[in-house]
Amino acid sequence: MPREITAFSNPLVKRVRSLREKRHRREEGLFLAEGLRILAEAEEVGILPLYLFFAADSAEHPLVRRLVAAVENSGGEAIQTSRDILHKLSGKDNPQTVIGVYRQFDTALSRIDRSAADIWIVAQSLRDPGNLGTILRTGDAVGAGGLILVDDCVDPFSVEAVRATMGALFTQKIAAARWPEFLSWLRSGPGQLVGTSLKATHDYRAPRYETPTFILVGNEAQGLPAEYEAECDLLVKMPMLGRADSLNAAVATSVMAYEVLNQRRPL
């Protein structure tokens, strides 16, 4: 039976609210996810929150009832509360009807099984949570194995990034590593590293990509460092026929991912 919390001063409310800050997320090893769609998608792949907060006026919604039952059956705790407290937890003026508190995933590179998918996405010094969300959603759409974050990237467990993934955070593997560690891991097995660069001479549609393909995209403002480009097996570029000199990092990743997919799928 869900318990009810109505006081802003409740210790659990304060603890969960603190997860909006990176320092507290790291200390606790937890993160927040909001919205029925995202939480339901997580449940479908077997991932349930430790705590489920839901608005009292949504208690009879079929998806909310299903989530409450699943969380309680798994040993988690379902908590009925007010919209005002959900606002305090999420920081949004119009909060979602449900908020889940999840354990952060293990982001060790050693967890990645490169044979599990033909496409992997690698992002170096990615800073924008919206771009991270779009890249994860693209990865899900093309059947990629996941996203490897290289060097200092945006926190994938920030509230903004989790929102932007629209649930893909739970369907894609995520790993994080410094460049030397990633390069050593990559070269220990099969895999073609394909970088996107304005300096490239190959059009992105010209090569036949090998399996598995690791698509490497650089920082939004600066692109890939020259020494990183030098380690790529192949550098490619996309035609820019207008006045803009480059595509958004997430858009470029999407174009590349679908080109690799299209080379492999039957017509």
- How many structural domains does the chain have? 2
Whether residue 72 is found in the same domain as residue 181:
no
- Among 49, 83, 103, which residue terminates a domain? 103
Nearest-angstrom CA–CA distance, 252 and 267: 23
Whether residue 9 is found in the same domain as residue 81:
yes
Whether 73 and 1 have beta carbons less than 8 Å apart is answered as no
Each residue's pLDDT expressed in tens, for the chain with a length of 267 residues: 788 888 889 999 999 999 999 999 999 999 999 999 999 999 999 999 999 999 988 988 999 999 999 999 999 999 999 999 998 898 877 777 899 999 999 999 999 999 999 999 999 999 999 999 999 999 999 999 999 999 999 999 999 999 999 999 999 999 999 999 999 999 999 999 999 988 888 999 999 999 999 999 999 888 899 999 999 999 998 877 777 666 689 999 999 999 999 998 876
Whether residue 141 is found in the same domain as residue 235:
yes
**Cα distance between the two ends of the chain:** 52
Written as six digits, the tokens of 5 are 């919390």
Whether residue 11 is found in the same domain as residue 90:
yes
Whether residue 176 is found in the same domain as residue 127:
yes
Whether residue 98 is found in the same domain as residue 132:
no
Whether 220 and 128 have beta carbons less than 8 Å apart is answered as yes
Whether residue 38 is found in the same domain as residue 133:
no
**CA distances (Å), 189 to each of 43, 182, 192, 211, 222, in order?**
33, 12, 10, 11, 29
Q: Reduced to 3 states, what is the DSSP secondary structure of residue 215?
A: strand
Nearest-angstrom CA–CA distance, 205 and 92: 42
- Among 56, 84, 103, which residue terminates a domain? 103
Q: State the residue range of the domain holding 137.
A: 109-264
Nearest-angstrom CA–CA distance, 197 and 223: 7
- Among 84, 103, 122, which residue terminates a domain? 103
Whether residue 144 is found in the same domain as residue 248:
yes
Whether residue 80 is found in the same domain as residue 169:
no
Instruction: Kindly report whether the global pTM for this prediction surpasses the value 0.85.
Output: yes
Whether residue 135 is found in the same domain as residue 246:
yes
